[in-house]
């Protein structure tokens, strides 16, 4: 089992804002391939005050040198955990039973536009997990099956998706608007 919890206390984090809004956010990366995307997402997690970053399956994790470089030190200020695919599903099922809401970010027949879903759903939730999937195949079906809601970002050009690190930034900052409006 390769499941570890990290997160150095080398940088003090101000969690008062998160506690004031009474909402806790975990970001879960489901089999992300690019070490550079993961590094950028570490930085985004730090910027938004995410409680934890879950690195699932073959998603790269520290101490990979390229990850250390692209995260610009955010691996020291963001708690993170590396889980196998099986452990990830167990983690999500356990959290769901504890009242956490699971939001999968994926294009599917069941997905709804993120701007509508966030404003409607986040207002009543206080603990939520955002799941972002592999750059090619997306979020695994077994995770989509247990998600409380599946959201997407509408695409208006010829390409049907954004880079995963860009998607994480858009979604978690949009969610931050609703945390602050509570």
Tens digit of pLDDT for each residue in 60-106? 998 888 888 888 878 888 999 999 999 999 999 999 999 999 999 99
Longest CA pairwise span in the chain (Å)? 44
Instruction: Answer for the pair 123, 151: CB distance below 8 angstroms, yes or no.
Output: no
Under the banding of pLDDT at 50, 70 and 90, the label for residue 26 is very high
pTM score, whole prediction: 0.84
Architecture of domain 4-181: 3-Layer(aba) Sandwich (3.40)
Question: Among candidates 35, 171, 158, which has minimal Cα distance to 106?
Answer: 171
DSSP 148-175: SEEEE----SSS----HHHHHHHHHHHH
- What tokens were used for 38? 């993961």
Three-state DSSP class for residue 122: helix
Question: Among candidates 137, 122, 140, 131, which has minimal Cα distance to 168?
Answer: 131
């Amino acid at each position: 089992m390769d499941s570890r919890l990290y997160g150095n206390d080398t940088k003090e984090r101000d969690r008062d804002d998160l506690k004031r809004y009474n909402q806790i956010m975990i970001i879960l990366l489901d089999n992300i391939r690019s070490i550079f995307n993961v590094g950028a997402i570490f930085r985004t997690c730090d910027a938004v005050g995410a409680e934890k970053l879950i690195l699932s399956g073959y998603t790269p994790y520290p101490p990979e040198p390229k990850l250390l470089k692209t995260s610009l030190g955010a691996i020291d200020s963001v708690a993170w955990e590396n889980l196998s695919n099986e452990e990830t599903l167990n983690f999500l099922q356990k959290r769901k039973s504890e009242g956490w809401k699971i939001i999968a970010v994926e294009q599917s027949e069941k997905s709804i536009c993120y701007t509508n879903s966030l404003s409607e759903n986040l207002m009543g939730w206080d603990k939520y997990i955002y799941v972002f999937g592999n750059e090619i195949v997306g979020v695994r079906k077994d995770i989509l099956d247990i998600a409380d809601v599946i959201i997407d970002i509408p695409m208006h050009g010829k390409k049907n998706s954004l880079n995963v690190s860009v998607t994480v930034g858009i979604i978690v900052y949009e969610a931050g608007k609703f945390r602050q409006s509570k």
